Amino acid sequence: MLHDLYAALEWLRSIVADRDPLTITLLGTGTSHGIPMIACDCPVCTSDDPRDQRMRASARIEFDGHSVLIDTGPEFRLQCLTHDVRRCDAVLYTHHHMDHIAGLDDLRRFNWLQDAEIPCYGQPATLERIRRVFPYVEPGSEPYPSARPKLLFRELTGPFELLGRTCTPIPLMHGALPVLGYRIGDFAYCTDVSHIPDDSWSLLDGLEVLVLDALRRRPHATHFNLEQAVAAAARIGAGQTLFTHIAHELGHVATNAELPPRMALAFDGQRVSCS
């Protein structure tokens, strides 16, 4: 009996070992205004360092030939063109704020390319708000069918299978608004967070790569500031922590020079891999 158990464990390990690693591309790392901000002449908004130019926060996860997006912000189309995104097998929505959903209509292009509906995952309240903002996504609501993104809304209540991998939603708080982070394998993405509930810390154990909200230096009611983000990252202890949803108060080079080891501001187009 014990021999059979060991054999089963070795079989599971071999499956995991044979799997492709996750490849994560940060499509955008900026705050809701984007960087540079409109009509701002601050040192970051006028910087010639491309790492200080930040589209709205979004990410792409590739594994086993699949392509999964986290959020579809206002620059979604430009992000896809910039980073050669040619496939979208699913979208994970963190919450319903416009800087995370405004580009949803451009999912139509992937409907045509793939001749398939696209599953969109999120909390029930998030998906309901998306339906209200984009009422024409409902079947039968648009007399010109090709003008409607064809989406399958999937309400989340816990971990689920996503294209052969386990995806774990991570409950977080964005001020008073419940939002979701996501974990696949040893990667987690947690944007727009000001508080990590007690039951969510254990969901972040053993990470290789963590992407975490760090808006600015000054305190903010609905986001971690840099000090809070560093403290949370130290507690989580990921192999690498990249901070996202960054405002124009944080210049890339100067801020990274003061951060602890294994922590850094992320930048648009940054690619990392993990199991």
CATH architecture of 22-266: 4-Layer Sandwich (3.60)
User: Residue 192: pLDDT above 70?
Assistant: yes
User: In the chain, what is the straight-line distance between the N-terminal and C-terminal CA atoms, in Å?
Assistant: 30
Structure tokens given for 176 = 């008073």
What's the confidence (pLDDT) of residue 224?
Answer: 98
What percent of the chain has pLDDT above 70? 92
Identity at 10, one-letter amino acid code: E
What's the confidence (pLDDT) of residue 142?
Answer: 66
pLDDT band at 144 (very low <50, low <70, confident <90, very high): low
Identity at 52, one-letter amino acid code: D
Q: Within 10 Å of residue 51's Cβ, how many Cβ atoms?
A: 17
What's the confidence (pLDDT) of residue 11?
Answer: 45
CA atoms of 240 and 266, how far apart (whole Å): 11
Structure tokens given for 178 = 């419940």
Structure tokens given for 244 = 């996202």
Contact in structure between 46 and 35 (CB atoms under 8 Å): no
Main-chain phi, psi angles of 222, to 5 degrees: -125, 5
Main-chain phi, psi angles of 210, to 5 degrees: -125, 130
What's the confidence (pLDDT) of residue 138?
Answer: 85
Contact in structure between 190 and 181 (CB atoms under 8 Å): yes
The contacts of residue 250 (CB under 8 Å, 6+ apart) are 44, 214, 216, 217, 226, 265
Query: Can you tell me whether residue 184 is helix, strand or coil?
Result: strand
Burial class (CB in 10 A: 0-12, 13-18, 19+), 192: buried
Contact in structure between 229 and 212 (CB atoms under 8 Å): yes
What's the confidence (pLDDT) of residue 17?
Answer: 43
Minimum mean pLDDT range among 131-140, 194-203, 219-228: 131-140
Map out the domains of the chain as residue ranges.
Answer: 22-266
